[in-house]
Amino acid sequence: MTMKRKVAILGATGAVGQRYIQLLQGHPWFQIEVLAASERSAGKKYGDACNWVMESNLPKEISEMPVASADVESVEKAGDVDLVFSSLPGDLAGPVESEFAALFPVFSKASAHRMEKDVPLIIPEINPDHADLIKVQQKQRGWKGFITTDPNCSTIQLAISLRPLMQFGLKEIIVTTMQALSGAGYPGVPSLDIIDNVVPFISGEEEKMEAEALKILGNFNGKVIQNADFKLSASCNRVHVKDGHLESVFIKLDQEPSIQEIEDAFSNFKGEPQKLKLPSAPVNPIVVRHEKNRPQPRFDRDAGCGMSVVVGRIRKDPIMTLKYMCLGHNTIRGGAGAGILSAELFVAKGLA
């Protein structure tokens, strides 16, 4: 990689936008050129517009950068951009991202375009071949750029854990999530709603998990994606944890593998990012813990710099075939880290 690509971040002041800024510091392939957010922030210095909630300090040069409005004209005026990371709210992202995708490669964390037939829904370890769907999209839409999307945060970690189990024949999956507060963005859930509490509802989340996993684990035949044919049922809860979604997963398989075979399938799983040695690829996409009481959000969310999914408590189930717990960092593996890894994959494949 000779020249670094200059990137714009749309939604740069939010929970995922801040994580993008943090993870892109010193990135070997990408450098931040433009930060964009709502009209409330536009025109201010980033440091004044944003309440920085990352654990690391806000870099001084980022703090001094002006915030642009999240539209093509303002972003083009603010800098010379090669690609766009979007972490806009899902209900606004649709038309704005399309406007950008006509001109730029757009890597989106928002739900707006995920389920469109000509839009890839990528987890680089699982379906890197789906990236080629952008050729169909560019032809159909007449765009110079394209849009590719990352799945919902709770779907990403689940789908990564499901991929190595496909060899045993996935039939049915039941998942209950315990999702962190940062998943609701910033400032997110009011403190008086969540202190001393669990909220057993996250708007749209169960529907997203149930639909997205089938597309991600489906087959791309060069023209369309054919969904995977297992059934998935999700039940989603918001819990009093800052970062890291924990999921309790029950699976019915065609075969009856031993616990050791399942554990080996998780531990040995590697994908294209590991083969290509992409800068943000964790060495182990799945880490297996053997302690009786792991994974836990506070201890395990930073595994593989937040890019590994941690699985534990793998056991046989008397009704289904097996059950296990799975944990992922929602704003890294489920958020900005996923967007950056996708962009690295597209660059490595010569698509961006």
Residues that bind ligand NAP (CB under 6 A): 11-17, 37-38, 40-41, 70, 87-90, 92, 109-111, 153, 182-183, 185-186, 330-331, 334-335
Buried b / exposed e along 94-107 (16+ C-beta atoms within 10 A):
bebbbbbbeebbbb
Strand partners for 328: 245
245 given a catalytic annotation: yes
Helix (H) or strand (E) holding 219: strand 219-220
Shortest reach from residue 186's CB to ligand NAP, in Å? 4
Q: Give catalytic status of residue 305 as yes or no.
A: no
Q: Give min distance, CB of 8 to ligand NAP, in A.
A: 12
HSE-CB for 145 with a 13 A CA cutoff: 19
Residue nearer to ligand NAP on the CB measure, 58 or 320: 58
Q: Which one, 108 or 321, has the nearer CB to ligand NAP?
A: 108
Residue nearest to ligand NAP (CB): 14
CB of 54 to ligand NAP, least distance (A): 12
In the complex, what is the shortest distance from the CB of residue 123 to ligand NAP, in angstroms, rounded to a whole number? Answer: 12
Taking the complex as a whole, how short is the minimal distance between the CB of residue 158 and ligand NAP, in angstroms? 13
Residue 11 or 285 having the CB closest to ligand NAP: 11
DSSP state of 128: G
Residue 329 class from Cβ within 10 Å (0-12 exposed, 13-18 middle, 19+ buried)? Answer: buried
Report CA torsion sign: 117, 119, 121, 123.
Answer: positive
Q: Please, where are the H alpha helices in the chain?
A: 15-24, 46-49, 60-63, 72-78, 90-101, 133-141, 153-162, 191-194, 205-216, 259-268, 272-276, 297-300, 337-348
Token pair listed for 74: 């303002």
Min CB(217)–ligand NAP separation in Å: 19
Question: Which residue type, as a one-letter code, is found at position 320?
Answer: M
- Selecting among 50, 113, 130, 153, the annotated active-site residue is 153
Select which of 113, 130, 245, 329 is catalytic.
Answer: 245
Within 8 A by CB and 6+ apart from 87, the residues are: 9, 10, 11, 12, 14, 16, 17, 20, 109, 110, 335, 336, 339
Residue 6 in contact with residue 31, Cβ under 8 Å?
Answer: yes
Find the helix or strand (DSSP H, E) in which 68 lies. Answer: strand 67-69
Q: Which residue, 182 or 321, has its beta carbon nearer to ligand NAP? A: 182
Take residue 184 and report the two structure tokens written for it. Answer: 């609701």
Q: Which is nearer to ligand NAP, 11 or 312 (CB)?
A: 11
Q: Of 17 and 304, which CB lies nearer to ligand NAP in the complex structure?
A: 17
Residues with a catalytic annotation lie at: 153, 245
